Amino acid sequence: MSRVLSGIQPSGQLTLGNYIGAMKNFVKLQETEECFFMVVDLHAITVPQEPAALSEQTEALAALYIAAGIDPSKASVFIQSHVRAHAELGWLFTTLANMGELERMTQFKDKAAGKESVGAGLFVYPTLMAADILIYHADLIPVGDDQKQHIELTRDLTQRFNSRFGEYFKTPEPYIHKVGARIMSLDDASKKMSKSNPNPGSFIALLDPIDVIRKKIARATTDSGMEVRFDPANKPEVSNLMSIYSHCADLTLPEIEERYQGQGYGSFKKDLAEAVISVIEPLQARYHEIRESGEIHQILKQGAEKASNIADRTLAEVKERMGFLLPRG
Ligand code: ATP
Ligand code: LTN
């Protein structure tokens, strides 16, 4: 059994991109592997968050994990900041990383682009992520394509730690599905669908009202042609909608092409909206039940206890290896 760990930021409304690229895989993996799934609130504050919104979004995201099918008797679900060792190991890893390698991170470059002032937390974001992964000695990290570079950096830091302080950590592997690893924005297929995009028309939120989902899909940008064909280089918008359809309706891309041959985009988009709704509607119903019951707090407490046991031990062993004087007596 491998140990699996991943996290999602409570930095806005969870999107269909997060669901397809990340959560759907989490639900599958819990059946065969030992899983830890976090709400990474310490990462979310690398860009400014309103305090009231942060706590609401954190609780909402934890409930969405359960609504999406994570079973707390199979996987541990917890809040990153409830396991205090993350922040401490994150600092230790920050001292192992170089400015140059952090400057090369495309997520940092994208989020810093055009800003007058860029938070230092955004810069050291990947060293905290490395700590998240290594603190559990995780083997497999299910993420969307955009996180691959951060996992590669984690692998480099693992090797650096081991060569300076003796073999201790194993090197984690990314786990990325080919189709759906990068769902693009509905208004611009050159950008990934992202919950922190200021234009709500660019994403489908898992908690969007059903009629809003229909409208967003009807308005999604397409090319001026009429052929439903998977061709990301020449038809990036339609190809993106086809990837979404393929995930929500469990159809292959050739099956979709065949179904809409000679029909234009109208009926394709209508059916796509219904396919998306068939996934989202039951998820929303479960979400509301979980929020109303208040059961999430007990789930998070148990998750944090299990995670802290492992994390505290790793942190103590790391500090010993690095030469910290440990408290005695
Ligand atoms: P933000 O816009 O605040 O940076 P985000 O929408 O990119 O947020 P994250 O919390 O950074 O979401 O990512 C959570 C998980 O969802 C990660 O595994 C990430 O790779 C995956 N993910 C995010 N956006 C997409 C997308 N458009 N397509 C596929 N996977 C995605
Ligand atoms: N950076 C990730 C979120 C994240 C994460 C992690 C993912 C934080 N820590 C550890 C996997 C493992 C993102 O999705 N933006």
For residue 165, tell me if it sits in a domain: yes
Q: Is 111 a catalytic residue?
A: yes
For residue 213, tell me if it sits in a domain: yes
Q: Which of 31, 326, 16, 72 is nearest to 197 (CA)?
A: 16
Tallying the residues shown for the chain, one arrives at 329
Q: Is the CB–ligand 1 distance for residue 9 below 6 Å? A: yes
153/68 same-domain check: yes
95/127 same-domain check: yes
Q: Give the predicted TM-score (pTM) of the model.
A: 0.94
As a whole number, the mean pLDDT across the chain is: 96
Give residue-wise pLDDT tens across range 29-80. Answer: 999 999 999 999 999 999 999 999 999 999 999 999 999 999 999 999 999 9
What DSSP string describes 11-48? SS--BHHHIIIIIHHHHHHTTTSEEEEEE-HHHHTTS-
For residue 26, tell me if it sits in a domain: yes
Catalytic residue among 24, 111, 216, 235: 111
- Give how many domains the chain has, as a whole number: 2
Does the pLDDT value for residue 179 go beyond 80? no
Strands of 34-39's sheet, edge to edge? Answer: 75-79, 34-39, 3-8, 140-142, 173-175
Range of the domain at 166: 3-176+294-322
Give residue-wise pLDDT tens across range 231-274. Answer: 999 999 999 999 999 999 999 999 999 999 999 899 999 999 99
Helix (H, G, I), strand (E, B) or coil at 115: coil
Residue 291 has what pLDDT?
97
- CATH code (residue 213): 1.10.240.10
Q: Is the CB–ligand 2 distance for residue 130 below 6 Å? A: no
Q: Is the CB–ligand 1 distance for residue 61 below 6 Å? A: no
151/165 same-domain check: yes
196 vs 311: which has the higher pLDDT: 311
Q: Ligand 1, closest atom to CA 193?
A: 27
Instruction: Return the best residue to mutate from 11, 38, 134, 148 for the ligand 2 pocket (most ligand atoms within 8 A of CB).
Output: 38
CA of 220 to the centre of ligand 2 (A): 28
Q: Ligand 1, closest atom to CA 6?
A: 18
Give residue-wise pLDDT tens across range 263-302. Answer: 989 999 999 999 999 999 999 999 999 999 999 999 999 9
Q: Which residue, judged by its Cα, is nearest atom 19 of ligand 1? A: 144
Give residue-wise pLDDT tens across range 8-20. Answer: 999 989 999 999 9
36/166 same-domain check: yes
- CATH code (residue 86): 3.40.50.620
Does the pLDDT value for residue 180 go beyond 70? no
